[in-house]
A and B are shown apart, each in its own frame.
Chain A
Amino acid sequence: MTGVPLSWYLILSAVLFSLGVAGFLIRRNIITVFMSIELMLNAVNLSFVAFSYQLRQVNGHLFTFFVMVVAAAEAAVGLAIILAVFRNRGTLQIDEIDSMKN
């Protein structure tokens, strides 16, 4: 096995994932939160592909495509929801959208 070792890919993936989590928890703008989710998904994709390459199996690639399809669908629906929320409330601050509580 020449080139970049597997562990590097995994570390990169973990870093990206943690960034996504941190962004999701900390940021208050709903668009940013949404992008953090995409980041986490792509971190997972990275580790899938890395394993798939390492183990010489095509399963990882397949899962990646699944994730990408779901992510695309999610982006479409999610952005539509965000648009609707913004029209109704005039804000994208996530802390102000808590009507489920009441």
Chain B
Amino acid sequence: MLHLWLIPAFPLAGFLANGLLGRRASKAFVNLVAIGSVVLSFLWVLKTLAALGPMEHAHIERYFTWIQSGDLQVGFDLAVDRLTAVMLLVVTGVGLLIHIYAIGYMAHEGGYYRFFAFLNLFMFFMLILVLAANFLLMFVGWEGVGLCSYLLIGFYFLKKSATTAGNKAFIVNRIGDFGFSLAVFLVFLGFGSLDFGAVFAAASQRPVETSAGALTLIGLLLLVGAAGKSAQIPLYVWLPDAMEGPTPVSALIHAATMVTAGVYMVARCAPIYTHAPLALDVVALVGLATAVFSATIGLAQTDIKKVFAYSTVSQLGYMFLGLGSGAFSAGIFHLVTHAFFKALLFLGAGSVIHALSGEQDLRHMGGLRKHTPITFLTILCAAVAISGVPPFSGFHSKDAILLAAHHRAPWMYWVGVVTAGMTAFYVFRAVFLAFFGTYRGHHHPHESPTVMTLPLVALALLSLGGGYFNVPRWLEPLFPLAEEGHDAVLVYISVAAGLAGIGLAWLFYVVRPGLADRLTDRLGWIYNLVYNKYFVDEVYNAAVVEPCIQGSSSVLWRGVDVGLIDGAVNQVGVKARSVGSILRLLQSGNIRSYAGWVVWGSVLAILAFVLVGGAR
């Protein structure tokens, strides 16, 4: 026993301590509990991994039977294998850095203890999700992180837009979770167990499904769940709105960890997907479509956090493309490097927003290079990493995905390359708009405190060097690497696309600042379409939200509730009254008439008795 349960237990204890006592406690206490619990968790992860060594097989710890009902037996089981190890390090490592950063970022905010309590609760659920050894326990973590996401998006709950965004995230995720739970039911129907080991062993024995079958259906339903959590088409709409939450939340939950839960889940279920190539095709197509679609939206956004949010959606699409191409390890690799550079981008954006006292609009920034040099340099590291410039981390993982995509279908590779170019363009557009040129705002920018810049520097180092953690090699026992020729030309092309994107951004926003405006004027309606995010929110509103509201108010409210339920109750009352108005005529108040009724009643009773045959 390595006491795996301690890994999630530390943050849970932190949540309880801060949640119950934090209101009256000092800030130092809240900091100590929040950071201390994550540090302990991180150290316990390191100790566990050191003790486990190479982990040729999954290390499973079974604590107790959680649910026993008929054939269904679900235990509270935690497991660590190589995939979980990667996730554990990302979640606790990046999570720790973001916790430290949040001390500085949230210093002047109300509800300080509440923020850290929720953040710790999130860590608990995320670690449960990652460590779970069966579908149902994973679902607990899955729902729990969704809850924390909701709570933290709506952290500024006095702001209408924040609570609406929280609701939106929660409701859209509900659709995905419905798919996930259906998939879990099907797994139990098909395999009679929910344990990962048992299910995947049984799935591997099945023949590969050439046409749609049970495994394909399970795979597709799991994808619905993953699309909800990981913001893929058509359920991605909640993620950009989720930026209403505090920036550390955007970095931790909506960039580095929670949104990658879908990627982790699909990779975890690789034995199912490899036997259901149709489902895998859908994964790849959804991922590719999401990557392109949201990258184009990112080109025209003016809110710095929205740019990075669409970038996150796009990069998640990349991961799904990798998974769908059968390169599960490449998808996880990109998950890791993305956690580094996207967390850094968000934290950098948070640092900028902090410096400008809450300004998020890129049009009111500019020239911040001189005011916030550390933030500028670290964000630059993240930008080159995400653009896929060698030898930084994004290059390695993106390249692995693109090569896998080319192996599967060359056209997917080309679309991916174009997306890579767009990615480089919009990220550098944001960087140039914020840090170059002259300052266009009214606040007095100032560099953030050390407690914020230190995590930035740490993440910058990881963004630059993270590509040398050879995740695919580490995951090889789980996901065998495809034997494919490493085509240098393909690599050059994708790098060239990234560099071209950077160059274009340099040309548009630094060398000839007026060029972009003229181009948008020329492109009029296309720009409008992209700027308004293809009106997807409006379409969803008209197609789903409005019919729901209309249906609720006209059918459910006026029809069912007022007409049927209230009507039935009222009619019962009316009928009782009308029957009563007849019966009350019997109440004459004359005692002898009552007595007469009694006599006639007894006579009738006796008559009936006699006619039936008397007592026997």
Contacts and interface: CB of A to CB of B under 8 A. Distances in A.
Interface of A: 21, 24-25, 94-95, 97-102
A95 B590 contact: yes
Interface of B: 587-592, 595-596, 599
Contact of A97 (B588, B591, B596, B599): B591
B183 to A, nearest CB: 71
A24 B595 contact: yes
Which of B588, B591, B599: most chain A CB closer than 10 A? B591
Contact of B599 (A21, A95, A98, A102): A21
Contact of A25 (B588, B589, B599): B599
Contacts of B591: 94, 97-98
A25 B587 contact: no
Given A21-B599, A25-B599, A94 B592 contact: yes
B589 A99 contact: yes
A76 to B, nearest CB: 20
A2 to B, nearest CB: 28
A6 B588 CA distance: 41
Contacts of A99: 589
Nearest to A97: B591
Nearest to B587: A101
B590 A25 contact: no
21 contacts: A21-B599, A24-B592, A24-B595, A25-B592, A25-B595, A25-B596, A25-B599, A94-B591, A94-B592, A95-B590, A95-B592, A97-B591, A98-B588, A98-B589, A98-B590, A98-B591, A99-B589, A101-B588, A101-B589, A101-B590, A102-B589
Nearest to A22: B599
Nearest to B602: A21
Contacts of A21: 599
Can you list the 7 inter-chain pairs with the closest CB atoms, starting with the nearest?
A: A101-B589, A98-B589, A100-B589, A24-B595, A94-B591, A98-B590, A25-B595
A60 B218 CA distance: 78
A21 B587 CA distance: 21
Contacts of A25: 592, 595-596, 599
Contacts, number: 23
A83 to B, nearest CB: 18
Interface of chain A: mostly helix, strand, loop or mixed: loop
Contacts of B596: 25
A24 B596 CA distance: 9
Contacts of B587: 101
A101 B590 CA distance: 8
A100 B591 CA distance: 10
A44 to B, nearest CB: 13
Contacts of B590: 95, 98, 101
Contacts of A94: 591-592
A13 to B, nearest CB: 15
A21 B606 CA distance: 15
A21 B600 CA distance: 11
Contacts of B592: 24-25, 94-95
Contacts of B599: 21, 25
Contacts of A95: 590, 592
A25 B590 CA distance: 11
A21 B592 CA distance: 11
A96 to B, nearest CB: 10
Nearest to B594: A100
A95 to B, nearest CB: 7
Contacts of B589: 98-102
A24 B587 CA distance: 19
A97 B591 CA distance: 8
Contacts of A102: 589
Nearest to A99: B589
A21 to B, nearest CB: 6
Contacts of A98: 588-591
A27 B609 CA distance: 30
Contacts of A97: 591
A101 B592 CA distance: 13
A98 B599 CA distance: 20
Given A25-B599, A94-B592, 14 more contacts: A21-B599, A24-B595, A25-B592, A25-B596, A95-B590, A97-B591, A98-B588, A98-B589, A98-B591, A100-B589, A101-B587, A101-B588, A101-B590, A102-B589
A1 B615 CA distance: 25
Nearest to B590: A98
Which of A95, A99, A100: most chain B CB closer than 10 A? A100
A94 B595 CA distance: 12
B287 to A, nearest CB: 83
Contacts of A24: 592, 595
Contacts of A101: 587-590
A36 to B, nearest CB: 10
Contacts of B595: 24-25
A97 B599 CA distance: 21
A18 to B, nearest CB: 10
B594 to A, nearest CB: 10
A99 to B, nearest CB: 7
A51 B588 CA distance: 39
A24 B592 CA distance: 8
A98 B592 CA distance: 10
